[in-house]
Amino acid sequence: MLNDAQRAIVKSTVPLLETGGETLTQHFYRIMLGEFPEVRPLFNQAHQASGDQPRALANSVLMYAKHIDRLEALGNLPAQIVHKHVSLQVKPEHYPIVGACLLRAIREVLGAEIATDAVIDAWGAAYQQLADLLIGAEEQTYAAIEAAPGGWRGERAFRVTRKQAESSVITSFYLSPVDGGPVIAHQPGQYIGLRLVLDGQEQRRNYSLSSVANGSELRISVKREPGGRVSEHLHDQVAVGDVLQLFPPAGNFVLRDGDKPLVLISGGVGITPTLAMLQAALETERAVHFIHCARDRASHAFRDTVDGLAARHPQLQRFYCYDQADAADQVDAVGLLDQQRLADWLPASRDLDAYFLGPKPFMAQVKRQLKALGVPEAQTHFEFFGPAAALN
C-alpha cells in the first residue's frame, strides 16, 4: 500500500516529469514493445511514430503524480482510460508488464543517483495503487457489458452486410452478429474495438459507432488514413460477407440527457459520433445546432443524411464550413471556423450543452472559442480519437 512518505517522493518527481516525462515514456515504449510482443496489439504504431502515445502517457503520468494524494482531481481521466482499456480488451495480466517496464525506464532515464531505490519503491507502490483501481473498474465494466441484453465479453464475430461510401475518404460498414443474437444498446458517442490479423500480426483499433443503437446491427464509418494499415485494409480488402471480430462498445464521451439547447461541432471524421448523438437527440424535442467542418464537398460525409434530418425536424439547424468550396456547394462559410462564425451559429443563450470532436488543433480552437463566448466549461464535452492528452 502506498504510504505518506512514498506519496511525498512521487510528488517530488513532478518537476522531472514536467521537463523530461516524454523522454521517459518514449524509452518505456521502446522497452515494452521491443521485449513484450504480447502487448503490441494494444498500441497503435502510427500513434507511436507520431509521438502522440508517448506524449499522452507522459501527461497522464504527470497528472497522476501531481494528484497522488487527491485522485478525485484527475476528473474524467481515469474513466477515459478504463473505457479505452475495455475497448481494446486490456487484461489484469498486462499490468505487471507495464509496471516493470515503467520502473525500468524511470531508473534508466533518470539514473540511479536520482531514481534511487526509495524512488523506485515509491513509484512501484504508486503504480500498483493505480493498477488495482483500473483493474477493478475494468472488471466491473466488462461484467456489466456482458450481463446487458445483447452484450458479450471478448471477441464476437460480425458479418459485413453492407459497405457504403459516405465521402471520398470515409466508408461505412454495416455489421450484424454471425450468431444471430441481439446486439447491446450502445450509447450515442461510443466506439467499438476491432481485432484483425494482417500478415501474421495482430492489430486492434477503435472506431466510433456512427448510428444509434437498433438492437440488431452496428455501423462504423472509417476514414482512409494515408499509410494506415488497418483503414486501408478495410477500405480495399474487406467486402460484404466478410467476418470481423469485434469487442463490445465502450467510451464515456456520450450524449447526456438534458433539455438545454444542444450544439454538436465536428471536424472531418469527427462527424461519426456526433451523427449518432444527433439522431438520438432528434428523438426528443431538444433544439439542436449541428456544425460540421470539412475540407471540401467531396470529403464531407453524411451531408445528405443531415440535410434530410433538418428537413424533417424543425428543431434542427445545421451549418457547414469548408476549407475550399465552389458556388454550387451551398456551404454556409468558407475558411476556418473562427469565433465570429461560431458565435453566429450558436443559440442565443449560452446556457447550452456542447459536444465537439475532430483533429486536435481543431478541438483546441473550439474549446477556446466556446469559453470566450461564455459557454460554461462544465457544459462542454470532447473526446480524442487517439491517445488522451491535454487539450490546451
List, by residue number, the catalytic residues.
95, 138
For 177, residues 6+ apart whose C-beta sits below 8 A from its C-beta are 156, 157, 158, 159, 183
CA 366, 208, 251, 387 dihedral sign is negative
Q: How many CB atoms lie within 10 A of CB 85?
A: 21
Whether 337 and 268 have beta carbons less than 8 Å apart is answered as: no
Query: 198: part of which helix (H) or strand (E)?
Result: strand 191-198
* Cβ(382)–Cβ(356) below 8 Å: yes
| Rounded Cα gap, residues 213 and 148, in angstroms | 14
CA dihedral angle for residue 284, residue 289, residue 294, residue 297, rounded to 10 degrees: 80
Bridge partners (DSSP) of residue 289 are 263, 317
Give the separation between CA 232 and CA 243, rounded to whole angstroms: 17
Q: Which DSSP string do the residues of 117-183 spell out, in sequence order?
A: HHHHHHHHHHHHHHHHHHHHHHHHHHHHHHHSTT--SS-EEEEEEEEEE-SSSEEEEEEEETT----
Residue type, 237: Q
